[in-house]
Homo-oligomer: A and B are copies of this chain.
């Protein structure tokens, strides 16, 4: 497992791999790797000759008062997890090399970056698209693998890659869940035992909506009310949103229509903010 910290060295490495005709896959992460991340690495492993996992807790995507400082970090754990999953390389740059003091260039996707997560975290997606642009320019992959867990992020990255003509394929890989349904997240470590137990209501409310849609319910009002009720029983501190989204344009809808709907939500348990979603096929 090769560890690269320097931007110039990573670019040189990627150039040399490309010149040898090797196919490069990249999995951008903020570290503290769990089974969700390792599934992305395994996915990239199937698509590329050389897999680069990037580990960088990106300050630009945290707002004031968010958890940048306390975000969990464990490089030795990440190194072995990435290696076991099939990563050939870790790129793990220094914050000051990524963001020198005078830094002020941002990539922003209009409209979709301002709704749902963007409403609660106003500069979050600007930070995400900017760092992903940087990481892609540094690692120069043929394919990048991202997680469906961050559905809105995955949409924005695909839109950015397409509209700014980055020459790579973007793959969005499925959510990995704990046995009780809780979506894997580095932030799950923040949860107290009681919060951890109650947090399963996120998945249970998504499973419920999936069942109701399968049984023919098409009213977003009805479906949202059913989800709210299911969530309320778990006493979250706050439900930020429950959204019904047309996946191809990432716009909220009023009525469920074929071919599919993405149901996404965000809720807080104690000081921990969790997100989850499910993509549901809607028969015509």
A109 to B112, CA, bound (A): 21
| Contact flags A154-184 to B (C-beta < 8 A → 1, else 0) | 0000011001111100000000000000000
A19 to B133, CA, bound (A): 23
A167 to B134, CA, bound (A): 10
Q: Which of A110-152 contact B (CB under 8 A)?
A: 110-112, 129-130, 133-134, 137-138, 140
Q: Which of A67-75, A100-108, A198-206 contacts B (4 or more CB under 8 A)?
A: A100-108
Q: Does A18 contact B (CB under 8 A)?
A: yes
Q: Is the CB of A167 within 8 A of B107?
A: no
Q: Which of A24-75 contact B (CB under 8 A)?
A: none
Q: Is the CB of A103 within 8 A of B137?
A: no
Copies in the assembly, this chain: 2
Q: Does A240 contact B (CB under 8 A)?
A: no
Q: Does A7 contact B (CB under 8 A)?
A: yes
Q: Is the CB of A163 within 8 A of B105?
A: yes
Q: Is the CB of A159 within 8 A of B108?
A: no
A4 to B5, CA, bound (A): 38
Q: Is the CB of A137 within 8 A of B18?
A: no
Nearest-Cβ distance from residue A257 to partner chain B, whole angstroms: 19
Q: Does A11 contact B (CB under 8 A)?
A: yes
Nearest-Cβ distance from residue A260 to partner chain B, whole angstroms: 19
Nearest-Cβ distance from residue A11 to partner chain B, whole angstroms: 5
Q: Does A15 contact B (CB under 8 A)?
A: yes
A100 to B21, CA, bound (A): 32
Question: Contacts of A105 on B, CB cut-off 8 Å?
Answer: 107-110, 129, 159-160, 163-164
Of B106, B133, B134, B165, the residue contacting A110 (CB under 8 A) is B106
| Contact flags A203-246 to B (C-beta < 8 A → 1, else 0) | 00000000000000000000000000000000000000000000
Of B19, B107, B164, B167, the residue contacting A21 (CB under 8 A) is B19
A109 to B104, CA, bound (A): 6
Q: Is the CB of A138 within 8 A of B165?
A: yes
Nearest-Cβ distance from residue A159 to partner chain B, whole angstroms: 6
